[in-house]
């Protein structure tokens, strides 16, 4: 059971770093772009420190399509919290509808046919 959970936890941690690397700078729009890029690269280093082991370990129990699907769902969850609580943006009903479509994709990816 733990071998199924560890990759998901590592992907979640990775996605937190990724979200800050990609979108955290939006609160610092007056910062020079070169500084923003360098700081984002520094944050992304830690993302990769979790992403690579997550995929390596995860590929023992999930196939690549399943790993990517898990990663995308985690990304949407992390980003939703990030945009609401860090960027102070409103979460709209159509975002939830779009996410529901992605959850439907999870069904198709993981369903044994």
**CA distance linking residue 95 with residue 101, whole number of Å:** 10
pLDDT of the chain, 113 residues: tens digit per residue:
899 999 999 999 999 999 999 999 999 999 999 999 999 999 999 999 999 999 999 999 999 999 999 999 999 999 999 999 999 999 999 999 998 998 898 999 999 88
Q: Based on DSSP, count helices (H) and strands (E) in the chain, helices before strands.
A: 4, 0
pLDDT at 113: 85
Q: Is 10 helix (H, G, I), strand (E, B) or coil?
A: helix
């Amino acid at each position: 059971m733990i071998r199924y959970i560890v990759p998901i936890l590592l992907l979640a941690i990775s996605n937190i770093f990724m979200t800050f690397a990609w979108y955290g700078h939006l609160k610092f729009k007056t910062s020079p772009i070169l500084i923003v890029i360098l700081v984002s690269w520094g944050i992304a280093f830690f993302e990769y420190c979790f992403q690579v082991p997550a995929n390596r370990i995860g590929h023992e129990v999930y196939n690549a399509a399943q790993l990517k699907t898990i990663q995308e769902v985690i990304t949407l969850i992390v980003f939703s919290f990030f945009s609401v609580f860090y960027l102070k943006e409103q979460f709209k009903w159509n975002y939830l509808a779009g996410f529901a479509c992605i959850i439907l994709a999870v069904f198709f990816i993981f369903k044994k046919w």
